[in-house]
Amino acid sequence: MSSLVEVARAAGVAVSTASRVLSGSDHPISAKTRAKVLAAAEELDYSPSALARAMVSPHSRLVGVLVSDIDNPYFSVIARGVDDAASRAGYVTMLSNVDRRTGTEIDRLQAMRDYRAAGVVFAGSGYVDDPRTPDLVDAVRRAREQGVQAVSLAVRDLGCPSVVVDNRAVAHDITDHLVSLGHRRIAFIEGPTGMTVTRHRREGFLARMREAGLADSAQCQPGGFDYESGHAATLRLLARPPLPDAVIGANDEVAVGALSALRQAGVDVPGEVSVAGMDDLRLAEFVGLTTVSLPLYEMGSLAARHIIDSPPVPRPRVTTSADAGRSSGAGPTRRGGRRADPPGDGRADAPADVSADVPATTTVLGHRLTVRETTARRTGERA
Amino acid sequence: MSSLVEVARAAGVAVSTASRVLSGSDHPISAKTRAKVLAAAEELDYSPSALARAMVSPHSRLVGVLVSDIDNPYFSVIARGVDDAASRAGYVTMLSNVDRRTGTEIDRLQAMRDYRAAGVVFAGSGYVDDPRTPDLVDAVRRAREQGVQAVSLAVRDLGCPSVVVDNRAVAHDITDHLVSLGHRRIAFIEGPTGMTVTRHRREGFLARMREAGLADSAQCQPGGFDYESGHAATLRLLARPPLPDAVIGANDEVAVGALSALRQAGVDVPGEVSVAGMDDLRLAEFVGLTTVSLPLYEMGSLAARHIIDSPPVPRPRVTTSADAGRSSGAGPTRRGGRRADPPGDGRADAPADVSADVPATTTVLGHRLTVRETTARRTGERA
DNA sequence: TTGTACGCGTTATCAT
DNA sequence: ATGATAACGCGTACAA
């Protein structure tokens, strides 16, 4: 190791000079001095402390991403998008798995806040009527007041910007495709109970079925987001004939679970029954699944770029000399001290929330149908 | 936000007192004072700066993990293991994708070192005869000298401890299984050219074939680690009959690619040809693939725990007043100073490399065969 | 039990 | 073009 002072000493210059050279400042430096500093840094294996750097700036060059489970391809693609954008900008990505627990989300957000992250990306969907949502919203608000940005990748109303897809439309479109293939009796295997995305996708499915006058032949099965859920739900379908013309999984993995269950039961897919999913993860390609492609990678990178490109709220530094030190009452107290409650709104001169008052923007990214005929084909009886 | 001084001021105590309360010190504190401080902290939404904390300790509570691509289930499981262990211990995980590029590995290691990470986990395999390996080894050495631990999850000789599986044995075992099933002509689709793991797995395959006196009917196809590679390699196999009795993929995804190609070509699997893989990722379960289970999650968590549990090399703090400042030569040198040079070792008093001289330990974790008869069965002609 | 003061490594500000 | 120094927020010897 070795610090700036050691490098400066070895180079025979002042720390400020060494700093200017090594931090790529645009301050003019003589070529000779620059060379000396560079040489000394090399010699001493100087490694700038990002910690110390972050202490004198509004925030660190760390971006966090909160996923339900990184070992779920839906989230790993997002994480990849975040990290690519972060790395490109010289940032480092922090990752935390929260297992869909709001409490854990709050904890991990706090941990990242402790590191003065530039921002945190919330990758997962929330639950409808989650009792802890207010706590999370509060945690997000406080983080933002401190200069830690937040971006949600799901429709969640966290009081922060969001980059999302229209999950109703996603489900609507895949349903539309199956209907256009001539399928009438369509079963929908839902996602995890209570999740917002589950609700949206079901609504999209039902909406399209209604529009097609097929409300009566629409069938929703409780499910989940994993293979086992899809498999189990399909077994239930198999146990109560007649079979539907098509099965839609709440996501690709569920669809694959359905596919397996059907084929294991000797059902011809796509001959007798069509199967389709949503998300278009790699898995979908492997099994030739008709699905809907989501811009997950882009959502991640876009969120990260939003965080990185946001001009940091410059935290006012204390004005040097004079009354700096011990003016116990007047000086620094101004920050959080006089919190003159404005009527109604709880955050009058709350520090550093320049953007907290503008309505959180929502960016909706597009999706597209991806047809792979291995699992979904035109129905025989109705061309 | 709000800092310790502000909390202390609000509570009417000294910063040290506030610190003792808020940082969970065992220093005795009167109940009343403690309560006051806690209340003030709550009121001011105090968030301890992990940055400042890390500055006064030997390292931060950040652990890094370097993966080739987080959107590859092999690595995402590892990352999950790392993060679980890290989170449990109050650490935060840093993640970087390096796309199998040694240069990028060096860069990202450096970035994590800048944050004074407690340690960095190298999840990916290296290349045989990689010209940049010496640079990486050097970077690892310097990081370790600074107190940033390193752990490799592949046989790589980075000069750091490693937690690995025996990939020769892995390939040997899956080959053994197919041989015991009666298969004679077995094709092996290799991993990416030049990777160490690729070599090891091929060696394991060939070794078992030799032992079985089947060296002549062993067939190696160039491949990769992804679906497309497996698919393409299998198309080549199909183009040059006769077909082998069985196909082994260098990993599960390759095996699934092979499986698809075979079935698309009308070949009955496992009737005519058996297919097997290695790793046992979720995918293998979906398609019912016979494979070898690897303790990837455990490797990740074990590596993280190794880092976290390692006693930090206590960086000697300067002894207050007196000669503190400018004793350019004597002072800090004491750190690694009296290290009784082992003869032949060229780095006498390199600072803080207490463990650099003990031979890097290698922990080999076990694996086990996982049989799923959907893709591999006893050959018809030879029971 | 509590308070005082210093240092961690960096950047920014203010001289020179 | 370069140097000196005050912050940033924290933990911790040391003093009281």
- Average pLDDT value over all residues in chain A: 89
Q: What is the pLDDT of residues B242-255, one digit of tens each?
A: 999 999 999 999 99
**Do B1 and A49 count as a contact with CB atoms less than 8 A apart?**
no
- Range A4-33 average pLDDT: 93
CA of B14 to C1' of D11 (A): 13
Which residues are CB-neighbours of B189 under 8 A, at least 6 positions away?
Answer: B220, B221, B223, B229, B230, B233, B234, B247, B248, B249, B250, B254, B255, B258
- Dihedral (Cα; B104, B110, B115, B119), 10-degree rounding: 90
- Range B279-301 average pLDDT: 97
Q: Helices A102-114 and A133-145 sit at what angle, rounded to 10 degrees?
A: 10
Give the residue from chain B lying closest to A255, CA to CA. B286
Confirm if A287 and A257 have CB atoms less than 8 A apart. no
**Do B62 and A335 count as a contact with CB atoms less than 8 A apart?**
no
Number of other CB atoms surrounding residue B382 within 10 Å:
10
Residue scoring higher pLDDT (B146 or B342) = B146
Which residues are CB-neighbours of B308 under 8 A, at least 6 positions away?
Answer: B63, B85, B86, B89, B91, B118, B119
Please tell me the distance from the alpha carbon of residue B81 to that of residue B303, in angstroms, as a whole number.
9
Helices (H), B89-125: 102-114
Confirm if B376 and B183 have CB atoms less than 8 A apart. no
- Range A115-119 average pLDDT: 98
pLDDT over 90 for what percent of chain B? Answer: 81
The model's confidence at residue A315, banded by pLDDT at 50, 70 and 90, is low
Q: What is the pLDDT of residues B184-234, one digit of tens each?
A: 999 999 999 999 999 999 999 999 999 999 999 999 999 999 999 999 999
CA of residue B260 relative to chain centroid, distance: 30
Token couple for B126 = 């290296």
B368 min Cα distance to partner chain A (Å): 21
The reply to whether B73 has its C-beta less than 7 Å from any atom of strand D is no
DSSP state of A190: -
Which residues are CB-neighbours of A143 under 8 A, at least 6 positions away?
Answer: A109, A113, A120, A150
Q: What angle do CA A248, A254, A257 make, to 5 degrees?
A: 105
Q: How many Cα atoms occupy the beta-carbon half-sphere of A307 within 13 Å?
A: 39
The model's confidence at residue B374, banded by pLDDT at 50, 70 and 90, is confident
| pLDDT (0 to 100) of residue B327 | 34
Residues of B in contact with A115 (CB under 8 A): 50-51, 60, 62, 92
All protein residues with a CB under 7 A from any atom of strand C: A 1, 3-5, 15-16, 19, 22-23, 25, 46-49, 52-53, 55-57, 317, 320; B 12-17, 20, 27-30, 32-34, 52, 55-56, 317-318, 320-321, 324-325
Strand D positions within 7 A of protein Cβ atoms: 1-14
**Do B92 and A94 count as a contact with CB atoms less than 8 A apart?**
yes
Confirm if A272 and A243 have CB atoms less than 8 A apart. yes
Strand D and chain A: which residues 280-339 have CB closer than 7 Å? Answer: 315, 317-321, 324-325, 332
Please tell me the distance from the alpha carbon of residue A79 to that of residue A93, in angstroms, as a whole number.
9
Residue given tokens 């569920």 in the structure block: A254
Q: Pick from B44, B70, B285: which is nearest to A70 by CB?
A: B70
Q: DSSP letter string over A106-139?
A: HHHHHHHHHTT-SEEEE-S--BTT-TTHHHHHHH
Q: DSSP letter string over A232-299?
A: HHHHHHHHSSSPPSEEEESSHHHHHHHHHHHHHTT--TTTT-EEE-SB--HHHHHHT-BEEE--HHHH
Please tell me the distance from the alpha carbon of residue A257 to that of residue A275, in angstroms, as a whole number.
10
**Do B52 and A55 count as a contact with CB atoms less than 8 A apart?**
yes
**Do B286 and A55 count as a contact with CB atoms less than 8 A apart?**
no
| pLDDT (0 to 100) of residue B312 | 72
Comparing every residue's Cα with the C1' atom of nucleotide D4, the nearest one is: A14
Please tell me the distance from the alpha carbon of residue A148 to that of residue B55, in angstroms, as a whole number.
20
**Do A115 and B51 count as a contact with CB atoms less than 8 A apart?**
yes
- Range B49-54 average pLDDT: 96
> Which nucleotide is the nearest neighbour of A320, by CA and C1'?
D6
Please tell me the distance from the alpha carbon of residue B280 to that of residue B331, in angstroms, as a whole number.
54
CA of A14 to C1' of C15 (A): 14
Residue given tokens 């979904």 in the structure block: A376
**Do B76 and A70 count as a contact with CB atoms less than 8 A apart?**
yes
The model's confidence at residue A211, banded by pLDDT at 50, 70 and 90, is very high
Confirm if A351 and A145 have CB atoms less than 8 A apart. yes
Confirm if B342 and B357 have CB atoms less than 8 A apart. yes
Confirm if A259 and A287 have CB atoms less than 8 A apart. yes
Please tell me the distance from the alpha carbon of residue A120 to that of residue A339, in angstroms, as a whole number.
27
Please tell me the distance from the alpha carbon of residue B60 to that of residue A112, in angstroms, as a whole number.
13
Token couple for A115 = 């590191």
Q: Pick from A71, A114, A256: which is nearest to B286 by CB?
A: A256
Please tell me the distance from the alpha carbon of residue A48 to that of residue A41, in angstroms, as a whole number.
10
pLDDT over 70 for what percent of chain A? Answer: 86
Residues of B in contact with A282 (CB under 8 A): 71, 227
Please tell me the distance from the alpha carbon of residue A248 to that of residue A174, in angstroms, as a whole number.
8
**Global pTM value:** 0.90
> What are B126-131's contacts with CB under 8 Å, separation 24+?
B126/B102, B126/B154, B126/B156, B126/B158, B126/B195, B126/B196, B127/B100, B127/B102, B127/B194, B127/B195, B127/B196, B128/B194, B128/B195, B128/B196, B128/B199, B129/B194, B130/B102, B130/B194
| pLDDT (0 to 100) of residue A8 | 93
- Range B132-146 average pLDDT: 96
Give the residue from chain B lying closest to A335, CA to CA. B2
